[in-house]
Amino acid sequence: MPEVLLSNDDVTVLGPPSTVEVLVDIGPSGTRGSQVFVGVGDPNIVEIGQTPLLNDLYINTSPGTDYGYLYQYVSEPGGNTWIQILEINPTIYSENHLTTYAAGEGQVVIPIADIVTVTGTPLTAANFNVQYSIAHDNPIASSMSIPALAGAGDDLVINFKAVEHRSDVDSGPYGDWALLTGEVTTHLFISIVAADEES
């Protein structure tokens, strides 16, 4: 409060307060900003080591169908919870499948849920980009086709046709081609792509 230094009916002169207090200690801590947690498994189930605050983020590093998902801690009816908001790694499926060939034909069936979590627009056969190779001692010539997804589209079916080049004693001086028969390993690499509008 300023001190009155001079006062009369016409003029009042005010001066500075006689005492000034300066507080130099640190005030209370504010709300922490968004924290990014990393853990193995669903954050709604596993212990993350701290109490999360709204809008915190969590990355699941557990191998499996939810690998690489980014979660956010949000408020929902019934309480705060972690929800999946983004898959960080691209949708890629790679596997070595033991495939049985009979008369040059083989088939691999993969649950679509093992490849991608389907949300929104249903997938068609044109959404799958399949790269493959067939492991064999002899040279292999092959082709692959994906029929239209049946029913609810729960499985991706990949049909193969293959022949092997043999150069044994019975196949002549230049060898010959024969329909592939028996069990072989098919190396698969599958990704999700935008379907061609004309397909």
Taking only the tens place, the pLDDT of each residue in 131-187 is: 999 999 999 999 999 998 876 668 899 999 999 998 775 666 677 899 999 999 999
For residues 32-39, average pLDDT: 85
Task: Give the rounded percent of residues in the chain with a pLDDT score beyond 70.
Answer: 81
* Cβ partners under 8 Å of residue 129, min gap 6: 190, 191, 192, 193
**Secondary structure of the chain: what % helix, strand, coil (to 5)?**
5, 50, 45
pLDDT of residue 74: 93
First to last CA, the chain: 83
Average pLDDT score over residue span 65-85? 88
In the predicted model, what is the mean pLDDT of the chain? 83
- The distance of Cα 78 from the centroid of its chain, to the nearest Å, equals 27
What are the φ and ψ backbone dihedral angles of 16, each rounded to 5 degrees? -70, 160
Parse the chain into domains and list their residue ranges: 1-89, 92-192
- 176 HSE (CA, 13 A, CB side): 6
Q: How many whole angstroms separate alpha carbon 143 and alpha carbon 27?
A: 71
Place of tokens 């193969």: 160
